Amino acid sequence: MTDLKPQTAAVTRPVSDEGRDDRVLPFAVEPLDLRGRVVRLGASVDRILGQHDYPAPVARLLGEAAVLTALLGSALKFDGRLQLQTRSDGLVNMLVVDFDAPDGLRGFARFDAERLAEVGPTAELLGKGHLALTIEQGNEMSRYQGIVALEGQGLEAAAHQYFRQSEQIPTFVRLAVAESLTGAGMEWRAGGLMVQFLPASRERQVMPDLPPGDAPEGTLVPEMKEDDAWVEAKALAATVEDHELVDPTLSSERLLYRLFHERGVKVFETQNVRASCRCSRERIANMLKSFTPDERKDMVGDNGKIGVTCEFCSTFREFEPVEFD
Ligand SMILES: [Zn+2]
């Protein structure tokens, strides 16, 4: 099963102004039984989004998905992999982001360019469909998949639903993406905050019931009261602003101090994140070998070669058809 608690040893460090990008900072607010992570992405998300020439709204959505994947994937053990995938009827009909432990992040989006150009960026991008989180970890690469319905609620709310349904852990997530002007031009930045209520006693993790759905009208839903510590934790976490999550001059430590200093926050070892793709010439050659000679013949371009572009990192590679004969 998944274990989304920080894997790192508890090391209390003084709150510093160390403002390094592309890392995940796990933390705890012990008086509130809170565990969480802050992720700040700079060069990594700029590279992932820069590898594609997506319109800004699509890039922004993929950036959000990258932050969420980094928040969730960084809890995996060293040999694990987490994949976030959406399939929907929205303008962005597919998003895929992979986190390969300990630090690799990659992703791409598929979208309807014509419709997007027609309706503009205010249109609902994700639409209706589903979001799947697939986690593989351990020696036998045990596989776990959690799926939540997408109904126009966006990635943050979908993440809350995932934790409610699949993990039964009260969880609050915030995601932010921004394009900022630097000396080198426009750069993408992204950040996220995730907090989870993990008291010693499971009974305190009670969550109010979801609306009864298909139940007949008038069905009574028992009123469930959330734990006071979790109510306070959510209220504090919810004060985080988008600009704080993407501000390059505000370190993760200072941000946590701003949010939780009244209760005392303890931080753990940071984990790095980098843009990295698993593709290689050899892997693609193996993929091409799995086609029949006739299928491969159809792939040969005007220059007599088979050209393949990696959908994740846009690396283009060419193969001579004779390599496979
Ligand atoms: Zn690639």
Whether 92 is covered by a domain: the verdict is yes
CB atoms within 10 A of CB 303: 8
Measured between its terminal Cα atoms, the distance across the chain in Å is 44
Q: Which of 128, 192, 136 is nearest to 154 (CA)?
A: 128
From CA 183, how far away is CA 271, in angstroms rounded?
27
The pLDDT, as a whole number, for residue 203 is 85
The pLDDT, as a whole number, for residue 17 is 41
CA of 285 from ligand 1 middle (Å) equals 13
CA of 47 from ligand 1 middle (Å) equals 12
CATH number at residue 309: 3.90.1280.10
> Which residue range forms the structural domain that includes residue 292?
281-324
pLDDT profile of the chain (325 residues), mean per 10: 38 47 96 97 96 93 97 85 95 96 95 88 84 85 88 91 89 95 87 96 78 59 81 97 94 96 95 95 94 92 95 95 84
| Runs of H (alpha helix) within the chain | 43-50, 56-73, 113-119, 154-162, 228-237, 242-246, 252-260, 281-289, 293-299
The pLDDT, as a whole number, for residue 121 is 66
CB atoms within 10 A of CB 206: 14
CATH number at residue 48: 3.55.30.10
Whether 149 is covered by a domain: the verdict is yes
CA of 214 from ligand 1 middle (Å) equals 44
CA of 312 from ligand 1 middle (Å) equals 5
CA of 309 from ligand 1 middle (Å) equals 8
Same domain, 235 and 314: no
Domain boundary among 238, 256, 275: 275
The pLDDT, as a whole number, for residue 232 is 97
The pLDDT, as a whole number, for residue 180 is 84
CA of 311 from ligand 1 middle (Å) equals 7
Angle at 68 between CA 171 and CA 172, to 5 degrees: 15
CB atoms within 10 A of CB 150: 22
CA of 306 from ligand 1 middle (Å) equals 17
Same domain, 125 and 232: yes
Pick left, alpha or beta for residue 205 (phi over 0 → left; psi -120 to 50 → alpha; otherwise beta).
alpha
CA of 294 from ligand 1 middle (Å) equals 26
CA of 165 from ligand 1 middle (Å) equals 33
CA of 322 from ligand 1 middle (Å) equals 23
CA of 98 from ligand 1 middle (Å) equals 11
Number of domains in the chain: 2
Whether 28 is covered by a domain: the verdict is yes
- DSSP3 helix / strand / coil % (the chain, rounded to 5): 30, 30, 40
CA of 316 from ligand 1 middle (Å) equals 9
CA of 51 from ligand 1 middle (Å) equals 10
From CA 277, how far away is CA 87, in angstroms rounded?
22
CA of 77 from ligand 1 middle (Å) equals 23
Same domain, 171 and 304: no
